[in-house]
Amino acid sequence: MPDTMRAAVLTRFGGPDAFEIQTLPVPSFGPRQVRVRVHATAINPLDYKIRRGDYADDVPLPAVIGHDVSGVVEAVGADVTESAPGDEVYYTPKIFGGAGSYAEVHVTDALLVGRKPRNVSHVEAASLTLVGGTVWKAFVTRAGLRVGETILIHGGAGGVGTIAIQVAKAIGARVITTARANNHDFVRSLGADDVIDYTSTDYVDAVNGLTDGRGVNVVFYTVGGDTLTRSPFVLAPLGRLVSIVDNFAPQNLIEAWGRNASYHFVFTRQNRGKLDALTNLVERGLVRPVVGAVLPLGRLAEGHEVLETGSRRGLRGKVVVDVTGEAATIVPPLTVSLAQPLTPGLAPASLPSGEPT
C-alpha cells in the first residue's frame, strides 16, 4: 500500500480552476473506520457552491471536498465487523465533517458505508449515493409519500430528478414532472406519468389541469427561481412541499397555510440504512443510474464546468469522476443535437440531456 495518494485540492474559493492535483499522505484510520480505495466519485451542486465560497465558514482551506464514493475497502479498524478488505462499497462522506472524496483514498466511519449494488459499475454507483440518500430522506422520512399519491417533481431530467422519478414510482406514486420538450420521452422512460414543458407552459395551470383541480400531495423542489414561491398553488389540502435547495426567495406561506400544507427543508445526513434501501431498489431493477458525463480526476475542474453549464450542454443525470482513469471519458458538448433519444444508464456524449441538478 503506497503511503501517498493523488487528490484534487481546493486551494482557494473561486472558479473551477481553484483545484490543484496534489500528492498527499494517505490518511490514517481509527478503530471504527474503514480505508477505501476510491474508484469513482461524482460532482454535485453542493460541490460547486463550496468551491465558489458559499460555505466558506464551514470549509477551511486547503480542502479536499466531494460527497460520493464508490470503491473497494483496503483496510478496516480493529473494531469494525460490518466491512472487510476487498468489499465493494459506496457511501457519502460526512458533509462538512472532514476530507471529501476527490482523492484516490478515503477514510470514513464504518456506519456510513453500504454495500455497492452488484449490478452496476463503480462509475454508476458513485452517481447514486448523495442523490439517492437525499431523495429517500425527502420522500420516505420527511414527506411520507404513499402508494396512490401524486407528486410533482421539478427538474425531472437533472441529476436529482432522474432518481426522484424512479424512487417515487417504486413507492407507487403518480409522477408529474417538469422538463424541456426534448426531454419528455426521456423522463417518461424513467417512469414519469405526465410531463410539463416549463419553458412554454405555466406549470401551475398544467398541474391543476392534470389533477382536475385537486392538486398534488407532494411537491419536490430541486430548482431555483420563483418555483418555491408558486408551488403551494398546486398543493392539495394537507399537501407537503419538500425542498433540497438553499433558497432565500420569499415563500408563499399564506397560500400554504390555507391548504394546511407542511414545508420540509432537507439537508441530508447519510447512513447505511438509506443506502441499503437504495441498493435494494437498484438490484431489483426499480432504479437505474443516469450518468451524463464522465471525466478522470485530472480533469475535475472541467467536470465542474460541465455541471454548471449543464442546461447549455443538454446534460442528463450526473457528472461522475473516474478516479482510477479506466472508464471512457464522456463530455457533452455545449452545442448538441436535440433529435436523438437516450435511455437510462451510461449516456453517450453526443446525445442531449436536460436541466442541471
How does pLDDT run across 126-172, given as a tens digit for each residue? 999 999 999 999 999 999 999 999 999 999 999 999 999 999 999 99
Judge if 326 and 248 occupy the same domain.
no
Q: Does residue 172 sit within a domain? A: yes
Q: What percent of the chain has pLDDT over 70?
A: 89
At how many degrees (to 10) do helices 129-136 and 159-171 cross? 50
Write the pLDDT tens digit of every residue in 30-57: 999 999 999 999 999 999 999 999 999 9
The answer to whether residue 256 sits within a structural domain is: yes
- At residue 335 the predicted structure's pLDDT band, cuts being 50, 70 and 90, is low
- Crossing angle between the packed helical segments 45-52 and 300-308, to the nearest 10 degrees: 110
Kindly state whether residues 147 and 116 are assigned to the same domain.
no
What confidence tier does 250 reach under pLDDT thresholds 50, 70, 90?
low
At 48, which CATH number?
3.90.180.10
Examine the domain organization and report whether 204 and 322 are in the same domain. no
Task: Assess whether 28 and 40 both reside in one domain.
Answer: yes
Same domain, 156 and 32: no
How many structural domains are present in the chain?
2
Q: What is the pLDDT of residue 141?
A: 92
| Dist. CA 286–CA 290, nearest whole Å | 13
Tell me the average pLDDT across 280-289. 98
Residue 73 domain boundaries: 1-127+289-357
**Alpha helix segments (H runs only) across the chain:** 45-52, 122-126, 129-136, 159-171, 184-190, 203-210, 227-230, 253-258, 272-283, 300-308, 310-313
Residue 275 within any structural domain of the chain: no
Looking at the fold, whether 107 and 139 belong to one and the same domain comes out as: no
- When the pLDDT of each residue in the chain is averaged and rounded to a whole number, the result is 90
What integer pLDDT is reported at residue 267 of this predicted model? 79
- Are residue 227 and residue 343 in the same domain, yes or no? no
Task: Please report, to the nearest 10 degrees, the dihedral formed by the alpha carbons of residues 92, 129, 350, 189 taken in order.
Answer: -170
pLDDT of residue 340: 40
Quick one: 205 and 245 in the same domain? yes
User: Within a domain: residue 120?
Assistant: yes
Asked if 123 and 6 sit in the same domain, the reply is: yes
Place of cell 420540509: 264
The span from the CA of 104 to the CA of 151, in Å, is: 39
Q: What is the pTM of this model?
A: 0.89
pLDDT tens-digit series, residues 285-315: 999 999 999 999 999 999 999 999 998 898 9
**Same domain assignment for residues 225 and 155:** yes
| C-alpha dihedral (68, 71, 77, 81), degrees to nearest 10 | 100
Whether residues 143 and 50 share a domain: the answer is no
- What pLDDT is recorded for position 299? 97
- Same domain membership, residue 159 and residue 123: no
**336 has pLDDT over 60:** no
- Residues 254, 153, 194, 190: what is their CA dihedral angle, to the nearest 10 degrees? -170
- Amino acid making up residue 182: N
SS3 175: strand
Confidence label for 230 from pLDDT (cuts 50, 70 and 90): confident
